[in-house]
Amino acid sequence: MRRRLWLGLAWLLLARGATRTPSAPRKPRSYPHLEGDVRWRRLFSSTHFFLRVDPGGRVQGTRWRHGQDSILEIRSVRVGVVAIKAVSSGFYVAMNHRGRLYGSRLYTVDCRFRERIEENGHNTYASQRWRHHGQPMFLALDRKGAARLGGQTRRHHLSTHFLPVLVS
């Protein structure tokens, strides 16, 4: 009985290896269904603040969970690239070339962030356009809830980790 099981397993492995050789190129994957996806979330930082954009266009954190200005619309522009817009104020979260976060009324290239799901289940958002000495600049909130400069942030910093919370 065991011998038959081993023979069957060996036959499956040989048959599987015959269908694809290691040098054969992989087919490119296509994800057009993910483009244009819109999610309403609150982004909760690992520093215990919700990301918000106030009516004046300032990007900062708030501890008040039920604030209307902390509801964000996360729109997928391309696969892995998102635009973040505050629903109440209508401002997009943007980053300038110095790494300063601000609210923009118009959707521009500065409003695009590369979204990455980290191993701990949190998301990080790096500016798609701007880099600081070759390193990506991340969206981050410090311990006081203020927006950090992108040049001072790295992917492994806890201040750059956000947990998307469903809006109830």
pLDDT one-digit tens code per residue, 46-77: 999 999 999 999 999 999 988 888 999 999 99
Distance, in Å, from the CA atom of 85 to the CA atom of 105, rounded to the nearest integer, reads 9
| Residue in this structure with the two tokens 């296509």, named with its chain if needed | 30
Predicted TM-score (pTM) of this structure? 0.78
pLDDT one-digit tens code per residue, 128-147: 999 999 999 999 999 999 99
Kindly state the tokens that stand for 30: 């296509």
Inform me whether the pLDDT recorded for 19 exceeds 90: no
Distance, in Å, from the CA atom of 55 to the CA atom of 162, rounded to the nearest integer, reads 22
- Cβ(128)–Cβ(136) below 8 Å: no
SS3 52: strand
Q: Higher confidence at residue 34 or residue 77?
A: 77
Q: 27 falls in which pLDDT band (50, 70, 90)?
A: low
User: Which of these ranges, 10-14, 36-40, 143-147, has the smallest mean pLDDT?
Assistant: 10-14
Inform me whether the pLDDT recorded for 23 exceeds 90: no
pLDDT one-digit tens code per residue, 69-128: 899 999 999 989 999 999 999 999 999 999 999 999 999 999 999 999 999 999 999 999
Task: Return the CATH number of the domain spanning residue range 33-166.
Answer: 2.80.10.50
SS3 118: coil
Distance, in Å, from the CA atom of 146 to the CA atom of 123, rounded to the nearest integer, reads 19
Sequence ranges of the domains in the chain? 33-166
